[in-house]
C-alpha cells in the first residue's frame, strides 16, 4: 500500500513538472510572437513614410495579394508535413523523404496556379499602366508568392521536427529583420525607396534570408545526409500514402480558406449592410481585437507537433494530458483578455483617435469572440493532428456561416456593435460544437488505439 501511495505521488509530481514545463513553453512561444510586433510596426512605419500615401496604398494592395496567394499555395501542405514529420522517427532519411518529395511536388503545382491567378488579377485590375510595368509587377509578385510558400513549408518542417520556436521566428523575426537590413542598406546607397515594387523586392530578399537559414536548420534536424530531391508523385503511380496526404491537404486548405474569410471578409459584409462610418468603426475594433488570437497561434505552434508525435505512438494518456494542459493555459489567458478589455476598452480604442470612441463596445464583443477561439485552440490542434481535419474544416465553415448571417441580421439594428456580437456568436457556436464532439472523438481514438495494439 505504501509503495502504491509513493508511486501515485511520483506520478502526480511528474505530471506537475510536465505541466509547468509545458506552460513555460507556451509563455515563451507567446513572447516570440510578441517580439515580432515591434519589428512589423517599424517596417510599416518606415515604408509608409518613404513611399507616401499613394505608393504605400499600392504596396499594401500588392503585398497583401501575394501574401494571401502564397499562404494559400502552401495551405494544407504545411500542416500535413508538420503532422507527418512529428509522427515518424527521424533517425534516417528513408522515412521522411517520401513525404518531403510529395510536399515539394504539390507545392510546385499549387504555387504555379497561384502565380497564374496573380498575373490575371494584375491584368484585370489594371495595376500596371504599361506592358513593361506589367511584367515587372508580375515577375516581382510571382517570386514573392514562391518565396512566401517555400518559407511556410520550411516552417512546417521545423515545427514537425520539434523546432517550434524557430518555426515561429523564421517568417516574423528573421524575415522582418532581414528586410530592415536591406531597407537600411538601400537607403544608404540609393536613398529611400519611392516605388512600391522596390519594397516588394526587399521583401523577397528578406524571405531569401529566412529560407536560407531555415533550410540549414531543417537539414540538420531531418538528416545531415539529405541530398538533392528527385521530385516524384502525381499521376497513376501515386501511392496510397500520397493519396491520404493529398486528401488531408485539401481539408486543411478548406480550413485555411474559412479562417481567411473569418478574419478578413467580415468587414466587407458589414460594409454591405451599413454606411462607411459604421464600417470604419467596426474595422478598427475587429482588427484591434485580433491581438487576442496571438496567444492561440503561439500555443498551437507548440501543441501541433506534440499531438502528432503522441498520436503517432498511440499514447492516449499523453494526448489527454496535452489537451488538458493546453485548455488550462488558453482558457486562463482568454478570461484575462476579456477582463482587461472589459475594464479598459474605451481607453484602448483611443489609440485610433477621438473619432473611434464608439468602437469600444464592438471591440469588447469582438475580443470575447476571439478569446473563445483562443480557448478552443488546443482542440483544433488535437483534431488536426489525429486525422480529424475534416471536422476542423466543417466547424470553421460553420463559424463563418453563423458570423455572416448574424452580421446581416444584427448590424442594421445594432450598428458596429452588431458585428462584434456576430463574431462572438460564431465562435460560441464552435465552442459548443467542440464540447459536444471532443469526448466522443477521444473515445473513438482510444478504441482505435486499442484495436491497433491488439
Query: Per-residue pLDDT tens for 265-310?
Result: 677 678 778 777 787 778 777 777 877 777 777 777 778 888 888 8
302-338 in b/e form (b: 16+ CB < 10 A) is bbbbbbbbbbbeeebebbebbbebbbebbeebbeebb
Residue 424 has a pLDDT of 92
Task: Provide the 10 A C-beta neighbour count for residue 393.
Answer: 23
| Tens of pLDDT, residues 37-92 | 677 767 777 877 787 767 776 777 788 788 878 888 887 888 888 888 877 754 44
Residue 124 has a pLDDT of 84
Note whether 65 and 121 are within 8 A (CB): yes
Q: Which segments in the chain show pLDDT lower than 50?
A: 1-8, 10-19, 90-94, 224-236
pTM of the model: 0.69
Residue 77 has a pLDDT of 86
Angle at Cα 252 formed by Cα 146 and Cα 123, nearest 5°? Answer: 40
Cα(356)–Cα(99) distance, integer angstroms: 50
Note whether 118 and 65 are within 8 A (CB): yes
Residue 81 has a pLDDT of 85
Residue 254 has a pLDDT of 76
Q: In this structure, what are the phi and psi dihedrals at residue 108, rounded to the nearest 5 degrees?
A: -60, -40
Residue 428 has a pLDDT of 93
**How far does CA 223 lie from the centroid of its chain?**
27
Amino acid at each position: 500500500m505504501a509503495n502504491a501511495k509513493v508511486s501515485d505521488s511520483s506520478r502526480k509530481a511528474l505530471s506537475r513538472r510536465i505541466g509547468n514545463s509545458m506552460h513555460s513553453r507556451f509563455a515563451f512561444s507567446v513572447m516570440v510572437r510578441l517580439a515580432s510586433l515591434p519589428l512589423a510596426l517599424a517596417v510599416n512605419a518606415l515604408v509608409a513614410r518613404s513611399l507616401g500615401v499613394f505608393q504605400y496604398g499600392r504596396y499594401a494592395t500588392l503585398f497583401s495579394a501575394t501574401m494571401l496567394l502564397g499562404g494559400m499555395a502552401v495551405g494544407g501542405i504545411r500542416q500535413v508535413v508538420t503532422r507527418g514529420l512529428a509522427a515518424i522517427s527521424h533517425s534516417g532519411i528513408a522515412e521522411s523523404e517520401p513525404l518531403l518529395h510529395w510536399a515539394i511536388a504539390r507545392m510546385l503545382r499549387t504555387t504555379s496556379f497561384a502565380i497564374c491567378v496573380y498575373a490575371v488579377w494584375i491584368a484585370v485590375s489594371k495595376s500596371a499602366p504599361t506592358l513593361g510595368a506589367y511584367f515587372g509587377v508580375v515577375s516581382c509578385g510571382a517570386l514573392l508568392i514562391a518565396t512566401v510558400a517555400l518559407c511556410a513549408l520550411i516552417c512546417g518542417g521545423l515545427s514537425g521536427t520539434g523546432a517550434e520556436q524557430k518555426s515561429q521566428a523564421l517568417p516574423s523575426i528573421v524575415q522582418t529583420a532581414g528586410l530592415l537590413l536591406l531597407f537600411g542598406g538601400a537607403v544608404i546607397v540609393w536613398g529611400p525607396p519611392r516605388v512600391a515594387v522596390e519594397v516588394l523586392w526587399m521583401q523577397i530578399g528578406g524571405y531569401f534570408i529566412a529560407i536560407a537559414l531555415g533550410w540549414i536548420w531543417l537539414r540538420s534536424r531531418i538528416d545531415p545526409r539529405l541530398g538533392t530531391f528527385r521530385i516524384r508523385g502525381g499521376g497513376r503511380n501515386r501511392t496510397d500514402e500520397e493519396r491520404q496526404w493529398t486528401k488531408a491537404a485539401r481539408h486543411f486548405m478548406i480550413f485555411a480558406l474559412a479562417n481567411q474569410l473569418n478574419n478578413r471578409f467580415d468587414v466587407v459584409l458589414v460594409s454591405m449592410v451599413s454606411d462607411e462610418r459604421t464600417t470604419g468603426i467596426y474595422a478598427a475594433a475587429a482588427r484591434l481585437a485580433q491581438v487576442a488570437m496571438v496567444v492561440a497561434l503561439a500555443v498551437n505552434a507548440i501543441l501541433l507537433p506534440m499531438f502528432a508525435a503522441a498520436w503517432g505512438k498511440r499514447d492516449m494518456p499523453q494526448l489527454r494530458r496535452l489537451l488538458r494542459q493546453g485548455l488550462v493555459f488558453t482558457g486562463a489567458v482568454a478570461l484575462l483578455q476579456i477582463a482587461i478589455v472589459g475594464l479598459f476598452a474605451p481607453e484602448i480604442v483611443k489609440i485610433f483617435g477621438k473619432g473611434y470612441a464608439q468602437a469600444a463596445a464592438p471591440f469588447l464583443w469582438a475580443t470575447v469572440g476571439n478569446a473563445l477561439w483562443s480557448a478552443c485552440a488546443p482542440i483544433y490542434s488535437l483534431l488536426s493532428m489525429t486525422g480529424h481535419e475534416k471536422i476542423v474544416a466543417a466547424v470553421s465553415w460553420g463559424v463563418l456561416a453563423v458570423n455572416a448571417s448574424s452580421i446581416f441580421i444584427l448590424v442594421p439594428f445594432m450598428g458596429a456593435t452588431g458585428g462584434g456580437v456576430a463574431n462572438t456568436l460564431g465562435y460560441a457556436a464552435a465552442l459548443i460544437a467542440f464540447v459536444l464532439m471532443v469526448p466522443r472523438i477521444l473515445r473513438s481514438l482510444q478504441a482505435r488505439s486499442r484495436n491497433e495494439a491488439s
